[in-house]
Amino acid sequence: MVPAPYLAPAWLPGGHAQTIAAATLARRPRVRYRRELWITPDDDLVAADFAAPEPRSETAPVLILLHGLEGSSQSHYARALMDAATARGWRALVVHFRGCGGEPNRLPRAYHSGDSGEADWIVRTVARRWPGARLHAVGVSLGGNVLAKWLGEQGSGCAVLQAAAVISVPFDLVAAGLNLASGLNAAIYGRHFLRSMRRKAAELSQRHPGAVDLERIRRCRNLREFDDAFTAPLHGFRDVMHYWASASSAPWLAGIRVPTLALNALNDPFIPAVSLPAPATVPREVKVERPQQGGHAAFIQGAWPGRLDYVPARVLGFFERGA
């Protein structure tokens, strides 16, 4: 299944056009949510948003979404997936990473690209709540790396999942991180992410004085420097390169034993195409799809600003056909 052509403006490179339009302009459905606040095993707080309408059946298929960097249930891809899943009668929810979704967390920690322990707790919590339902998980960008890493670490131990999908994943965080911290990526996207992340770091510092070096964080010029000053030390990594190398999902892909769709566009401006896994290097359970067009977490179709229906149709079709 190949995305239909996208009629992007000629003045903006295709990958950037798709990415920017998806985040700001593309037609996205309105989704109503019901929020629950969940307590983590270490007594922290996360928000889970359930899309309406919710099915009455306890055995309705379930879709869990793990969002990307600074994402939420309001992200364009989340709303598109939640709308398509509920239209099919599925139970669909976005479980936010710590500090996301407008809910500050309690502990002096945040979230990061390799937090597979968090994915384990989320998936198994949902599985226990609806033990008779077919459970599916989707991860986008950072959330996709977390999910792919967990799938590989667990191997056959994550049989609670029927199938999974990972979208626009930076499997090699070193390659993606260096790419995102330079050039046009740093100028356009890095500044956007830094504003939100610096604000959260300042709020965490107020709640937990001395937990981070706030002055160093304020001096950060790109995401590489931010990860070196905040994400890495806060979560026990020596520095940014240790964090990126340790958190990358690429070394774990060989262990995946659950049917998994891995969808990455070759013109993704964040992720160098050469860093993506080739179909021959992954187990038979992983279906690698690398369309030429799609940008980052976009895959828009039609005339500008475009429609966001490709990813929901491809992912739910993969799940409904029994993966």
pLDDT in tens, 109-129: 999 999 999 999 999 999 999
User: Which among 247, 267, 283 is the end of a domain?
Assistant: 247
Domain CATH code at residue 59: 3.40.50.1820
Pair 141, 287 in one domain = yes
Nearest Cα neighbor of 102 from 170, 213, 206, 196 is 196
Tokens standing for residue 261:
């769709």
Residues labelled catalytic: 141, 268, 296
Q: What is the pLDDT along the chain (323 residues), one digit of tens a residue?
A: 656 555 555 445 568 888 888 888 778 899 999 999 999 999 999 999 999 999 999 999 999 999 999 999 999 999 999 999 999 999 999 999 999 999 999 999 999 999 999 999 999 999 999 999 999 999 999 999 999 999 999 999 999 999 999 999 999 999 999 998 888 788 778 888 999 999 999 999 999 999 999 999 999 999 999 999 999 999 999 999 999 999 999 999 999 999 999 999 999 999 999 999 999 999 999 999 999 999 999 999 887 778 899 999 999 999 998 75
Q: Is the same domain home to 228 and 291?
A: no
Q: What is the pLDDT of residue 14?
A: 62
Whether 1 is in a domain gets the answer no
Q: How many domains does the chain have?
A: 2
188 and 286 both lie in a single domain: no
Q: For the segment 74-109, what is each residue's pLDDT rounded down to a tens digit?
A: 999 999 999 999 999 999 999 999 999 999 999 999
**pLDDT for 22:** 86
Is 61 inside any structural domain?
A: yes
Q: Judge if 225 and 297 occupy the same domain.
A: no
- 45 and 90 assigned to the same domain: yes
66 and 145, same domain (yes or no): yes
Position 301 in a domain: yes
Do 123 and 256 sit in the same domain of this protein?
A: yes
Of the candidates 261, 49, 10, 258, the residue with the CA atom closest to the CA atom of residue 151: 258
Domain containing 228 equals: 173-247
Same domain, 219 and 299: no
**CB within 8 Å of 94: residues ≥ 6 apart:** 33, 48, 49, 51, 64, 65, 67, 72, 73, 78, 82, 101
